[in-house]
A and B are shown apart, each in its own frame.
Chain A
Amino acid sequence: AQSVTQPDIHITVSEGASLELRCNYSYGATPYLFWYVQSPGQGLQLLLKYFSGDTLVQGIKGFEAEFKRSQSSFNLRKPSVHWSDAAEYFCAVEGGDNDMRFGAGTRLTVKP
Chain B
Amino acid sequence: DAGVTQSPTHLIKTRGQHVTLRCSPISGHKSVSWYQQVLGQGPQFIFQYYEKEERGRGNFPDRFSARQFPNYSSELNVNALLLGDSALYLCASSPALRSINEQFFGPGTRLTVL
| Stretch touching chain A among B12-20, B70-78, B79-87, B103-111 | B103-111
Q: Which residue of A lies closest to B9 (CB)?
A: A41
Residues of A within 8 A of B43 (CB): 44, 90, 102
Whole-angstrom distance from the CB of A86 to the nearest CB of chain B? 17
**Chain A interface, >50% SS class:** strand
Whole-angstrom distance from the CB of B33 to the nearest CB of chain A? 8
**Which residues of B pack against A, CB within 8 Å?**
4, 33, 40-45, 48, 55-56, 58, 90, 92, 97-98, 100-101, 103-108, 110
Whole-angstrom distance from the CB of A2 to the nearest CB of chain B? 11
Residues of A within 8 A of B104 (CB): 46
Q: 8 Å CB contacts to B: which residues of A32-61?
A: 32, 34, 36, 41-46, 49, 51
**Does the CB pair B56–A102 fall under 8 Å?**
no
**Does the CB pair A44–B40 fall under 8 Å?**
no
Residues of A within 8 A of B97 (CB): 98
**Does the CB pair A94–B105 fall under 8 Å?**
no
Whole-angstrom distance from the CB of A24 to the nearest CB of chain B? 14
Q: Mark A46-82, 1 if CB is under 8 A from B, else 0.
A: 1001010000000000000000000000000000000
> What are 8 A-B pairs at a CB distance below 8 A?
A42-B108, A43-B4, A43-B107, A98-B55, A98-B56, A100-B33, A101-B45, A104-B40
Q: Which residue of A lies closest to B42 (CB)?
A: A102
Residues of A within 8 A of B48 (CB): 98
